[in-house]
Every structure is written in C-alpha cells, then in structure tokens.
Amino acid sequence: MGAILVTGGAGYIGSHVVRQLSEAGHEVIVFDNLSTGSADALINGERLIVGDLADEKKIGEVLRETGCKSVLHFAAAIVAPESVLLPLKYYSNNTRNTLNLIKACVDNQVERFIFSSTAAVYGIPEGGHAAEDSPTVPINPYGTSKLMSEWMLRDAAFAYGFSYVALRYFNVAGADPQARMGQRTPDATHLIKVACQAALGMRDSVSIFGTDYNTPDGTGIRDYIHIEDLAAAHLYALKYLEQGGTSSTINVGYGQGGSVREVIKVVKEVSGVDFKVVEGPRRPGDPADLVAVADRIRSVLGWTPRYNSLRTIIEDAWRWEKKLFEKQK
C-alpha cells in the first residue's frame, strides 16, 4: 500500500507503532520535531524527517514527495494537568496542528488516517466505564483539544472522502518486552513509571492522591494497557481501512481495571524494593474509576490482546527503566 507517514513517530507510543509497522514489512517515514521524541527510538533505520506540524508548507511538501496514502498521527502535547495551566499550547499543538495535517492530507489525496485520541474525551463517565457512545464531556483542555480534533477529522472525512479510525487510549504503560524501547520522558507523570523510578532511587516517594474513593481499596482504578497491545491496535486499524472499513471511533483498553494500591504493590514485588508511599488528598477532577468498554475493538478490528496482565506490564516497564537508569549513570 506504499509508504506510511507517522507523525510523532519518535515518541513513546509512536515509536512502538513504527517498529511494529517496520517488522510487518511496511515502509515507514517519521515526521517529528523531536521536542519530546528521540531519534534513537527508531531502531530499524526508518527515515526521519525533522519538522513541525505548525509548518503547513513543510508537511504538504513531505506528503507530495513521499506519496503516502496512509497517515498515522501521534504528534501532540499530552499532559492533562499542564493543559489546564497552558491551554493555548494544547490548542496549538493538538487542535491547530491536526487541522494543518488534515488540510495537507486532503490536498495530497491521503486515503487513510489513524488518529491518536484519548479517554480524556469522556471526562468523568457515569459509573466509571466509558463506551464509544458515552457522553464526551472533557474536563481539561487536553481532552477538549483531542475531541475537537476528532470532530474535524469526522467532518473532513465526510466532506472529502477519506476514511479514518480514531483510537481513544486508556492508560498506556509498559515497554517493549525486549527492552529495546520504552518511555524516555524523565519527568513523566504516569504511575507505573513513577513507581519504577522510586524503586530505582530516582524519586523519594510515590504519592497516592485519594484513598477514600468508592472502590475496593479506596484508591483510583484505571484501565492499564500494555504499549505493545496498544501499538498493535494501530496495525489492525490500518488493515481494517485498507480492506475498505468505514470510519470509526474505537476505545483501546482491556475492559479491566487496576487500582493505585495494586500497581504500587506489584511494582514493589517485581523490583524487590519497598519504597516510600505518601498518601494525600484527591486531585480535582480525578474520577474514581475509568475503564474502557472494549467490545468494539474486538468486533470491528479483530484485535486480541497479548499482554493483558498488570504484572506483565510492570515487569516490562521495570526491565526498561532499569536499562535506562544504567545508561544514564
């Protein structure tokens, strides 16, 4: 089907998808400004074009030159608390730049578009479980910027005749099982990475924000999904569109939750380190429970998870974090 353009392909999620695409025999071209990504994450020699989606002219030139008919779009700012403090950064990086990319895709007859969206579009879903038709009521500019991008994609696809899949991620975690790649961001806020860093002595403690939720152990529950399963969902989505599938919005999660206390317990077991845990009050806007209703991804894409165990996710994350720590010493 020709070369595939991957924006943000040098980042945490994008690089895992790029690697899986290359391993499946696709020619992959990565477009990334390297603000948070790393060229070292492209381990199979994929072509890297350093550029920013704010540059409409450049992304148009890249699409014309490469002739890509499939685009996978990951480039975005993704820290929800930061988005509250810096909303215009998120509307610029996420919404406006997605508009620039969609315009370039329309101008260059791109046929298939896969969008990296988020469960943050749901806000705080009633009952803690979100299906694709649940109300979309984001509670921060990050979620809003992604939802606006979904709307633009929907309307442009209808008007201009291309097809898309918008994948709404739940809590992505873990690393390549062979520890070739993983999350590199040093100041990441993801619980599993933070807990692994605490076990390595890189942080003084791990904080639990809220211990009085109406959950079995009082702490928040999230649907943690292994990065390898998440990445594979994009290959399934691409195949679905190549085979003539209609545009669709799909949750990417397991439909099962793990609590903050459970995560900390397993990290301590896997690492063998009893690091300090500090209990504090709830953070504003944090739902007690956020789990995917994950039927559509199985029925529409035929996706089947391979790593849907919290322990497996944490074991792979720990292996990567140890490797990263040793390299940085």
Instruction: Tell me the CA distances in angstroms from 53 to 15, 129, 247, 274, one per residue in order.
Output: 18, 34, 23, 44
Q: Which residues of 107-132 are buried (b: 16+ CB within 10 A; e: fewer)?
A: ebebbbbbbbbbbbbbbebeebbbeb
Give pLDDT tens digits for 224-254. 999 999 999 999 999 999 999 999 999 999 9
pLDDT above 80 for 1: no
Give pLDDT tens digits for 85-143. 999 999 999 999 999 999 999 999 999 999 999 999 999 999 999 999 999 999 999 99
Task: Give the mean model confidence (pLDDT) for residues 161-177.
Answer: 97
Task: Give the mean model confidence (pLDDT) for residues 208-225.
Answer: 97
Q: With bands split at pLDDT 50, 70 and 90, how would you rate the model's confidence at 268?
A: very high
- Residue for token pair 């990319």: 101
**Among 12, 122, 142, 213, the one annotated catalytic:** 142
Coil, helix or strand at residue 155: helix
pLDDT given at position 91: 98
Query: Which CATH number among 3.40.50.720, 3.40.50.970, 3.40.50.2300, 1.20.1250.20 corresponds to the domain 4-173+224-252?
Result: 3.40.50.720
Q: Average pLDDT, whole number, for the chain?
A: 96
% of the chain surpassing 90 pLDDT: 94
Contact call for residues 118 and 142 (beta carbons, < 8 A): yes
Euclidean distance between CA atoms 273 and 267, whole angstroms: 8
- Topology of 191-222+255-328 in CATH? UDP-galactose 4-epimerase; domain 1 (3.90.25)
Task: Give the mean model confidence (pLDDT) for residues 9-38.
Answer: 97
pLDDT above 90 for 188: no
pLDDT given at position 81: 85
Coil, helix or strand at residue 264: helix
Query: Which structure tokens are listed for 53?
Result: 């989606």
Q: Indicate the domain borders of the chain.
A: 4-173+224-252, 191-222+255-328
Instruction: Decide if 142 is catalytic.
Output: yes
Contact call for residues 252 and 227 (beta carbons, < 8 A): no
Q: With bands split at pLDDT 50, 70 and 90, how would you rate the model's confidence at 152?
A: very high
Task: Give the mean model confidence (pLDDT) for residues 172-192.
Answer: 92
Residue 278: burial class (beta carbons within 10 Å; 0-12, 13-18, 19+): exposed
Euclidean distance between CA atoms 243 and 236, whole angstroms: 11
pLDDT given at position 252: 98
**Model confidence, pTM:** 0.96
Give pLDDT tens digits for 281-296. 998 878 899 999 999 9
Give pLDDT tens digits for 49-82. 999 999 999 999 999 999 999 999 999 999 888 9
